[in-house]
A = this chain, B = another copy of it.
Amino acid sequence: MNALLSHTEENYLKTLIKLVLENANSEAGTNELASHLAVKPATANDMLKKLKEKGLVSYEKYGKINLTNQGTKIALEIIRKHRIWETFLYEKLDFSWDEVHDVAEQLEHIKSDKLIDKLEKFLDYPEFDPHGDPIPNKEGKFKVQHKTTLAEIAVGKSCKMIAVKDNSNSFLQYVVKVGLGINNEIKVLSRQDYDAMMLIEVNGQQSSVSQKFAENIFVVFD
**Chain A residues with a Cβ under 8 A of chain B:** 89, 92-95, 99, 102-103, 106-107, 110-112, 114-115, 118-119, 122
Contact = CB atoms under 8 A, between A and B. Distances in A.
Contacts of A115: 89, 93, 103
A146 to B, nearest CB: 35
A115 B122 CA distance: 18
Contacts of A99: 114
Nearest to A103: B112
A148 to B, nearest CB: 35
Contacts of A111: 106
A38 B99 CA distance: 37
A103 B113 CA distance: 10
A14 B112 CA distance: 22
A115 B118 CA distance: 19
